[in-house]
Amino acid sequence: MKCLWEYTTYENRVEKTMKEEISSYADEGQERDAVNLYPDMTYQVFEGFGGALTEAAAYTWHQMGDKNKTHFLEACYGKDGLGYTQARMALDSCDASLGNYSAMEDENDRAMESFSLERDEKYILPFLKAVEDVKGEALSVMLSPWSPPPFMKTNGEKNHGGKLKTEYYAWWAEYVCKYVEEYKKRGVKIVRISIQNEPDATQIWDSCRYNAAEEKTFLKDFLYPAMVKHGLSDIEVFVWDHNKERALERANGIIDEETRDMVSGIAFHWYSGDHFESLDMLHEKYPDKKLVFTEGCVEYSRFTSSDQLENARMYGHDIAGDLNHGAHAFIDWNVLLNSQGGPNHVDNFCDAPIMYDVEKDVMEKKLSYTYIRHYSRYLVPGSVRIGMSRFTDKLDVTAFRRPDGKLAVVMMNRIGEDMAVYIRVYGEVIPLTVPGDGIGTALIEM
């Protein structure tokens, strides 16, 4: 069998990506330094990678010169780029917006005649169109609300948490359905929604709290019936959309015999740590539910922008862990930000795989972009995770069989020394070296 080995090194802040072709030889009892592949052991079908098309990302793209606009689109959605097929979009404003906004704010307008997507049509929807023109097909979009309009909330504002007033449950369900319908009219391929972004957090930006009972009641008695009424029951509904450490508890509090058919899956973020075992338990208890990673970023309030290797490793480690524990898709946070890590209307600045210096008209691909690409370029939609074992936890590994029959194996070395690795599969051995502080992808033709 033949193997195309693409690997990236990062030394003295210089990134280099190289390729080589390697042939296998007969396995005569290789024991040490082995990564074993078991293509006959299969798990979840993977739906793809993507990133969030926020107003911040869209506004930054609109500020680019024409050359960098094209460069960005090709880097993420072109034939040699990240291969993104998924997207997450905010229903109304989020922190990665230029300011708070809602599609309507007139509490007396029960007919929602004042409902308008004027704000979305300024930057966000043209950005999506440009993306899809380069991609050549529609992205699979997830819509997530950060906060209902202020008049519907107990605290009377978009920010600082608060709750949805019970008397507005029905109206908010209709509002969500109208948002989906208006996006669909504009050609957006909405495949899933979440009920609420980070429902267990009071943030200084757009936020709204639900406990499990409240999220369940809203789903069961208001949102899902409204979706059925509007012919939107084919759209997947995801619960939680928050960190992994409490995902199981929230699922347990929502999913039962009444709601099982209403819930398509559990969405999760990475901000509280690995908690990969939580995904195992979710899959064990709810095997028919999808697990989708919907947000993660390097927050400047917690991490530094200068340590590109550590930031890239954060992606490499979490992607491998999530996929190995059952994730069906991986959707990053902002696909693009300015060099400050914004714009962000509450200065909640963060890193992005691609950043743009507005004043200098310079686009920078971070090392995290390359690390993501080692996964996203090769683990194409329809790939199936296969069985794998590794000789050390210093090596993050995940392996998939692609629709073309080839095996894709991503390996990230978490130490500074080069690591000899012998991939064992079907009686053959493929010898590789994963560089210290590096990452590589093996594409194996059987």
Full-prediction pTM beyond 0.95? yes
Query: 54 and 28 share a domain?
Result: no
The DSSP code for 26 is E
Q: Which residues does residue 64 pair with via DSSP β-bridges, in sequence order?
A: none
The single residue listed with the structure tokens 């109206």 is 171
Q: What are phi and psi of 340, to 5 degrees?
A: -85, -15
The single residue listed with the structure tokens 């080589």 is 20
- Given CA atoms 176, 182, 188, 190 in this order, what sign does their dihedral have? positive
The single residue listed with the structure tokens 């059952």 is 326
Reference 93, options 202, 227, 211, 197; nearest CA is 197
Reference 145, options 181, 175, 123, 185; nearest CA is 175
Distance CA 283, CA 293 (A): 14
Query: 109 and 239 share a domain?
Result: yes
Identify the domain boundary among 351, 366, 381: 381
Query: 30 and 104 share a domain?
Result: no
Q: Do residues 352 and 297 touch, judged by C-beta distance below 8 A?
A: yes
Query: 402 and 278 share a domain?
Result: no
Domain containing residue 376: CATH number: 3.20.20.80
Q: What are phi and psi of 58, to 5 degrees?
A: -65, -45
Q: What are phi and psi of 430, to 5 degrees?
A: -115, 115
Query: 150 and 34 share a domain?
Result: no
Query: 313 and 404 share a domain?
Result: no
Query: 396 and 354 share a domain?
Result: no
Structure tokens at 386: 């296969």
- Given CA atoms 338, 298, 321, 446 in this order, what sign does their dihedral have? positive
- Write down the pLDDT at residue 305: 87
Residues 6+ apart with CB under 8 A from 181: 230, 232
Domain containing residue 426: 2-43+386-445
Residues 6+ apart with CB under 8 A from 257: none
Query: 272 and 399 share a domain?
Result: no
Structure tokens at 76: 């993420």
| Ranges of residues in the chain whose predicted pLDDT is under 70 | none
Q: Name residue 438's amino acid.
A: G
Distance CA 251, CA 291 (A): 11
Q: Do residues 274 and 318 touch, judged by C-beta distance below 8 A?
A: yes
Domain containing residue 12: CATH number: 2.60.40.1180
SS (H, E, C) 303-326: CCCCCHHHHHHHHHHHHHHHHHCC
pLDDT tens for each residue of 92-105: 999 999 999 999 99
- Write down the pLDDT at residue 210: 98
- Given CA atoms 304, 417, 322, 88 in this order, what sign does their dihedral have? positive
Query: 392 and 422 share a domain?
Result: yes
Query: 335 and 356 share a domain?
Result: yes
Identify the domain boundary among 353, 381, 409: 381
- Write down the pLDDT at residue 184: 98
Distance CA 225, CA 380 (A): 35
The DSSP code for 150 is G
Query: 264 and 371 share a domain?
Result: yes
Alpha helices by DSSP H, 198-305: 212-218, 224-229, 247-254, 276-285
The total number of structural domains that make up the chain: 2
Assign 412 to helix, strand or coil: strand
Reference 296, options 326, 277, 265, 275; nearest CA is 275
Query: 55 and 185 share a domain?
Result: yes
Can you say whether residue 360 is alpha, beta or left, with left for phi > 0 and alpha for psi between -120 and 50 degrees? alpha
Reference 77, options 129, 11, 32, 143; nearest CA is 129
